[in-house]
Amino acid sequence: MSQLPFDWTPGGRPPAIKPMTVSELGHRIGAALAGGLPDPVVVAGEVGTFNARNGHWFFTLRDDDGVVNCVMWASDVRGAAGILAAGEAVELTGTVVHWHRQGRTQLRVRSFLLAGEGNLQAAFRKLCEELRGLGWFEQSVKRPLPRAPRAVAVLTSAAGAALTDVCATAARRWPACRLVLEDIPVQGHGAAERIAACIARVDASSAARGIDAIILTRGGGSAEDLQAFNNRVVAAAIHNAQTPIVAAIGHEVDTSIAELVADQRASTPTAAVELLLPDREEEGQRLDLLGSSLGYRMQRRVRACKQATSGLAASLQSTMQLALERARKRVLQIDSELRVREPHAVLASRRVRVERLAAQLGDVTRRHAQLASDRFGRLQLEASATRRLSAAVAILEERRGVLEAIGPDAVLARGFSMTLGLDGRIIRTRAEVTAGDEIESRLAGGSIKSIVTDPSSGGE
């Protein structure tokens, strides 16, 4: 059988000890404080958070290791020698009281003495001056925030109210954005180093994880609670990051070094989301307005185009008519040229030319034929004359051969001789010479002259 929460278990209240009430415990704590501490008590420290309300002062007193809640009622404030402010070193005189109804222990301050700037405030101021000298606060080094981030890493305590505010505001403004929680300690020992390491880790993996921006935030708290965000290592991590960072540390009256170095500062976690994410209703209205403006501009543009085109229509019509007229003339010209160049026209033209050339050729041919005929006749006459001449020459040669064969020289060559008188006449008979006549006997190869001695010797 399971036990109920109020069932007794080993290690619980011993049966012999009678429990006391809450109020009784509170009274005993108050009595112990009153009996164990001097009254009044004088405490030196530095003013942390300070709040004035209805004439009363509520503040904290702090040093490097501790914090005490303090209250100074309006009746004591009116007699004070000055005004308190966060970061001042003071000496407080008062009484330690325990309010058992609220479970709160406070130092009720009767009076105070100012001692200048406190150590923590001096350290804060010194670090601010150093980082300002390095240019870490300059707007020129700030990264622009994305217009509509796809995913945002939220660096805060998973148990804090800041996360609830961030998630609710993001869901209301821009549900399309994905929130990635990175649980970090927001105060206490070692918190600054863990915050810086988380910033560096998220920034290094932002591209792979699709993270477009980082929100570094925590809820309200005392100045002492915010010390982790006034650390140089956190400031360096924010400055070195490539991903845009929005810092919302504490309340609006508190400003941390982390916020001064961040790309944007927001007074609260809700304000950080409102600064980073667009509002879907505003975006819808903006789109509607842009749509209306675009429609109006389009209508105005259409009207302007209509007016412009109406004026252009007449000009275009005139231009088209001129262009058509030029085109018609050109077509007619081309048609005329084509008609001239049509096959039957070309053939007719060429036929006429051929006939003209044929006639010229006929004339030339007839002339040449006549010339050729005349020349042929002349050639025939010349040939006939040549043939006749050749025949005559042949006959002449034949007859010359005959003459030469029967001529005196030929006869003489055959051994005959021819006798001539002195007068050169041929002596054919013996009776034509007388004794004493000188005669010449021609022989082959020469002649012999002789004188007739006896014309009667020999036969007839």
pLDDT tops 80 at residue 12: no
- pLDDT tens, position by position, 20-41: 777 777 778 877 877 778 888 8
- pLDDT tens, position by position, 316-328: 777 888 888 888 8
pLDDT tops 50 at residue 296: yes
pLDDT tops 90 at residue 431: no
pLDDT at 16: 65
Q: Residue 117: CB partners within 8 Å, gap ≥ 6? A: 87, 88, 89, 125
pLDDT tops 90 at residue 237: yes
pLDDT at 1: 44
pLDDT at 199: 94
pLDDT at 387: 79
**For the chain, which residues make up each domain, given as ranges?**
22-117, 137-281, 411-451
Query: Does the CA dihedral 407-412-418-420 come out positive or negative?
Result: positive
**Structure token digits, residue 53:** 């309300």
Q: What percent of the chain has pLDDT over 90?
A: 20
- pLDDT tens, position by position, 348-401: 777 777 778 778 877 877 787 778 777 777 777 777 777 777 887 788 777 777
Three-state secondary structure call for residue 450 = strand
Per the omega criterion (within 30 degrees of 0), is the bond before 40 cis? Answer: yes
Q: Residue 104: CB partners within 8 Å, gap ≥ 6? A: 69, 98
Q: What is the CA radius of gyration of the chain?
A: 76
Structure confidence at residue 439 as a pLDDT band (50, 70, 90): confident
Measured CA distances, 100 to 73, 106, 249, 361 (Å): 18, 11, 32, 149
- Run of H or E residues at 58: strand 56-62
pLDDT tops 70 at residue 8: no
pLDDT at 190: 87
Query: What is the distance between the alpha carbons of residues 272 and 218, in angstroms, rounded to a whole number?
Result: 11
Q: Which residues of 215-239 are buried (b: 16+ CB within 10 A; e: fewer)?
A: bbbbbbbbbbbbbbbbbeebbbbbb
Query: What is the distance between the alpha carbons of residues 154 and 309, in angstroms, rounded to a whole number?
Result: 58
pLDDT tops 60 at residue 252: no
Contact in structure between 87 and 101 (CB atoms under 8 Å): no
- pLDDT tens, position by position, 97-152: 888 888 888 889 998 887 766 666 777 788 888 888 899 989 899 999 998 899 99
Domain at 137-281: CATH code: 3.40.50.2300
Structure confidence at residue 458 as a pLDDT band (50, 70, 90): low
Which amino acid, 10?
P
| Closest CA relative to residue 210, chosen from 280, 142, 148, 149 | 149
* Across 4-8, 14-18, 177-181, 372-376, least confident range: 4-8
pLDDT tops 80 at residue 201: yes
pLDDT at 254: 65
pLDDT at 10: 52
363 φ/ψ angles, rounded to the nearest 5 degrees: -60, -45
Q: Residue 157: CB partners within 8 Å, gap ≥ 6? A: 163, 183, 184, 185, 186, 218
pLDDT at 412: 74
Three-state secondary structure call for residue 129 = helix
Architecture of domain 22-117: Beta Barrel (2.40)
What average pLDDT does range 423-451 have in this prediction? 82
Query: What is the distance between the alpha carbons of residues 57 and 314, in angstroms, rounded to a whole number?
Result: 87
- Run of H or E residues at 62: strand 56-62
Residue 426 is given by DSSP the state: B
